[in-house]
């Protein structure tokens, strides 16, 4: 077989269903081999960045490895934003890039770029395949590395001549590497210690992140939280891991987290962090956080995430699901409840914080409030949609007001904060889940960064519902300029916007413009009733609305600005 045929066959044997890609000179042999097979479907995007985001949306919503295929040079550099996005959020992807022929490497050949060098800081690992005999094994390793341990993107760079060279096909069933092994079980002694600490806690808090979703440990998390009757918060990446409509859920925490979640984080006496990494947008200033004393239990599969930003009393390295299983057993058998009075008092305190109703907004407004649109989206989809977003205010409102009750429904770029992610990610989600409701909540600025994918959505019949919260500003930039830069709105106004309705129609879709609060619900119902069409809803929203609560950059997590304080 040729290298190209081997590559295609490897993807089939790996069980790949969809490959998102864009052809070019260095991958012509591969595309020829794709033409001759029917094991997987190729989705032709309009820009390589979108190929990676779509594969990413596919991976986040299914838990499987997403696959993208790009050509050398600009194909690869366009893909880098997508790769870095996946890397920051630990999403399992295999990206295959074409490379110029091996004799031409280093000659500044046409469309040559050092793919391995450029992507090194934003991949879990990468490979340059110089010999066709190593191709199948390398691809096996790529899928293995991408999907095990703390997941992440893996790049395989294949020179054009390697795709033409011949070798015997042999795809290994399994692979072992002396330099890489994924831990699974946690340390039993530590888990025992942690379980007792949780049983004895007087003001406990459970803080869970994206790791719970990556480890498919939502069931275990819910069981643990209910067993203990502790409050639970999810990070932006962890939304849906614990049902948002449950009484014990105190909302998202962090820079735009709820008052009750942030106050409970600051004032708890035992904090269980599960698959979360105490990042700057979550706990704010580490000095301020450390002012209150609390004991911290930290479960994470990546040892380097533990004790990176805060000191931890009980570190547990292991797969979240496996560790929680063991912990639940111990807690069921353990002696607890002696602090029932203290725990009840803690809940009273939390309810008092919750009574501040920190997410309230003006419901009498004559202009559309963006929060109301998201609330109605939740209502109309009965909380059962897959929701992707771009980055900015709309992302935070979606996180605050769409109450996710299931994992893998909330698809957002948390770590890198990539504008342009939402639409291609929604494409990947919709193709992975035909017939399911998929909404892309976006803004007029973000959507323009990958808007060309409306074309791909038409080609592959992806009936996504685009919810454009159009306030004619880069809203989050404007908000910071209002608070911290004396209302000097430098370059954050979006002038000369296209007519989104006509634009949607030009791409062959349905466009709607909604300008009055009374029309919001009806428009959403009408859009979701069009089950086989992409509908672009352009909601003209309040230009001055801000996201609250807000922890100013560098401040402490409990130092929030609330809406009523302004």
Partner 1 sequence: MRHIISLLMENESGALSRVAGLFSARGYNIESLTVAPTEDATLSRMTIVTSGSEEVIEQIVKQLNKLIDVVKVLDLSEGSHIERELMLVKVRAFGKDREEMKRMADIFRGNIIDVTERTYTIEVTGPGSKLDAFIEAIDPVAILETVRTGASGIGRGERILKL
Q: Would you tell me which residues interact with partner 1 (CB under 8 A)?
A: 116-117, 120-121, 124-125, 128, 145, 177-180, 302-304, 307-308
Contact present, 514 and 538 (Cβ < 8 Å) = yes
Q: How far is the CB of 157 from partner 1 (least distance, A)?
A: 11
Three-class DSSP category at 89? coil
Give the residues across from 43 on adjacent strands. Answer: 20
- What phi and psi values does residue 484 have, to the nearest 5 degrees? -120, -5
The whole-angstrom separation of Cα 188 and Cα 176 is 25
Q: Which of 17, 40, 111, 223 is the catalytic position? A: 111
Taking the least distance from each CB to partner 1, the nearer of 146 and 527 is 146
Contact present, 49 and 95 (Cβ < 8 Å) = no
Give the residues across from 274 on adjacent strands. Answer: 208, 299
Q: How far is the CB of 302 from partner 1 (least distance, A)?
A: 7
Q: Which of 141, 160, 465, 513 is the catalytic position? A: 160
Is 249 annotated in the active site?
Answer: no
Q: Which two tokens stand for residue 416?
A: 């890198």
Q: Is the peptide bond before 549 cis (omega within 30 degrees of 0)?
A: yes
Is 36 annotated in the active site?
Answer: no
Q: Which of 197, 476, 512, 537 is the catalytic position? A: 476
Is 110 annotated in the active site?
Answer: yes
Q: How far is the CB of 308 from partner 1 (least distance, A)?
A: 6
Query: Distances from the Cα of 523 to the Cαs of 78, 190, 316, 463, 536, in angstroms?
Result: 36, 53, 49, 16, 11
Three-class DSSP category at 424? helix
Q: How far is the CB of 148 from partner 1 (least distance, A)?
A: 11
Burial code (b: 16+ CB inside 10 Å, e: under 16) for 18-53 equals bbbbbbbebbbbbbebbeeeeebebbebbbbbbbbb
Q: How far is the CB of 71 from partner 1 (least distance, A)?
A: 21
Is 48 annotated in the active site?
Answer: yes
What is the β-pairing status of strands 125-128 and 314-317?
A: unpaired
Is 476 annotated in the active site?
Answer: yes
Taking the least distance from each CB to partner 1, the nearer of 177 and 341 is 177
The whole-angstrom separation of Cα 482 and Cα 475 is 10
Taking the least distance from each CB to partner 1, the nearer of 123 and 454 is 123
Q: How far is the CB of 90 from partner 1 (least distance, A)?
A: 12
Q: Which of 37, 41, 110, 185 is the catalytic position? A: 110
Q: How far is the CB of 258 from partner 1 (least distance, A)?
A: 31
Taking the least distance from each CB to partner 1, the nearer of 124 and 409 is 124
Alpha-carbon radius of gyration of the chain: 24
Give the residues across from 561 on adjacent strands. Answer: 550
Q: Which two tokens stand for residue 223?
A: 């069981």
The whole-angstrom separation of Cα 494 and Cα 562 is 27
Q: Which two tokens stand for residue 175?
A: 């692979």
Taking the least distance from each CB to partner 1, the nearer of 178 and 488 is 178
Q: How far is the CB of 218 from partner 1 (least distance, A)?
A: 26
Taking the least distance from each CB to partner 1, the nearer of 103 and 522 is 103
Query: Distances from the Cα of 71 to the Cαs of 20, 24, 28, 157, 486, in angstroms?
Result: 12, 5, 9, 9, 46
Counting every residue written for the chain, the total comes to 566
Q: Which residues contact 40 (CB under 8 A, 6 or more apart)?
A: 11, 12, 16, 17, 18, 19
Nearest to 366 by CA among 544, 536, 535: 544
**Which stretches within 28-134 are classed as H helix?**
28-35, 48-62, 74-88, 115-119
Q: How far is the CB of 292 from partner 1 (least distance, A)?
A: 20
Which residues does the annotation mark as catalytic?
Answer: 48, 110-111, 160, 476
């Amino acid at each position: 077989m040729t290298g190209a045929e081997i590559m295609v066959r490897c993807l089939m044997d790996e069980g790949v269903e969809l490959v998102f890609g864009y052809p070019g000179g260095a991958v012509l042999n591969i595309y020829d081999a794709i033409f001759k097979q029917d094991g997987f479907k190729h989705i032709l995007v309009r820009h390589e960045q979108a190929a990676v985001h779509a594969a990413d949306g596919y991976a986040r919503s299914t838990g499987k490895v997403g696959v993208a295929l790009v050509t050398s040079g600009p194909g690869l550099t366009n893909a880098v934003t997508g790769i870095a996005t996946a890397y920051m959020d630990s999403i399992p992807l295999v990206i295959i890039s074409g490379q110029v022929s091996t004799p031409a490497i280093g000659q500044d050949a046409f469309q040559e770029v050092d793919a391995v060098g450029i992507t090194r800081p934003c991949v879990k690992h990468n490979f340059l395949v110089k010999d066709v005999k190593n191709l199948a094994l390398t691809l096996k390793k790529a899928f293995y590395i991408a999907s095990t341990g703390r997941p992440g993107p893996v790049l395989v760079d294949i020179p054009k001549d390697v795709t033409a060279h011949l070798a015997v096909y042999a795809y290994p069933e399994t692979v072992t590497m002396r330099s890489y092994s994924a831990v699974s079980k946690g340390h039993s002694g530590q888990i025992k210690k942690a379980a007792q600490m949780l049983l004895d806690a007087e003001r406990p808090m459970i803080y869970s992140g994206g790791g719970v979703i990556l480890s498919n440990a939502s069931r275990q998390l819910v069981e643990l939280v209910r067993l203990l009757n502790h409050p639970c918060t999810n990070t932006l990446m962890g939304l849906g891991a614990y049902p948002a409509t449950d009484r014990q859920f105190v909302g998202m925490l962090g820079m735009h987290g709820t008052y009750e979640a942030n106050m409970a984080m600051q004032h708890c006496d035992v904090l269980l962090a599960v698959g979360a990494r105490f990042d700057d947008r979550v706990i704010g200033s580490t000095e301020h956080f450390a002012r209150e004393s609390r004991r911290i239990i930290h479960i994470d599969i990546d040892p380097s995430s533990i004790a990176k930003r805060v000191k931890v009393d009980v570190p547990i390295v292991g797969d979240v699901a496996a560790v929680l299983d063991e912990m639940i057993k111990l807690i069921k058998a353990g002696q607890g409840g002696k602090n029932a009075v203290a725990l009840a008092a803690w809940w009273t305190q939390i309810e008092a914080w919750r009574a501040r109703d920190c997410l309230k907004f003006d419901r009498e407004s004559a202009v559309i409030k963006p929060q109301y649109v998201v609330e109605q989206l939740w209502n109309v989809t009965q909380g059962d949609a897959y929701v992707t977003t771009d980055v900015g205010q709309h992302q935070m409102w979606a996180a605050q007001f769409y109450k996710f009750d299931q994992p893998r429904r909330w698809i957002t770029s948390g770590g890198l904060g990539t504008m342009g992610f939402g639409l291609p990610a929604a494409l990947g989600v919709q193709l992975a889940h035909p017939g399911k409701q998929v909404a892309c909540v976006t803004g007029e600025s973000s959507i323009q960064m990958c808007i060309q994918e409306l074309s791909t959505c038409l080609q592959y019949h992806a009936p996504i519902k685009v919810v454009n919260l159009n306030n004619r500003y880069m809203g989050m930039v404007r908000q910071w300029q209002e608070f911290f830069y004396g209302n000097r709105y430098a370059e954050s106004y979006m002038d000369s916007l296209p007519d989104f309705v006509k634009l949607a129609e030009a791409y062959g879709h349905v466009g709607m413009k909604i300008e009055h609060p009374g029309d919001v619900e009806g428009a959403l119902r009408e859009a979701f009733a069009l089950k086989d069409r992409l509908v672009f809803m352009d909601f003209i929203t309040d230009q001055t609305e801000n996201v609250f609560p807000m922890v100013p950059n560098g401040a402490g997590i409990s130092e929030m600005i609330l809406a009523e304080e302004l």
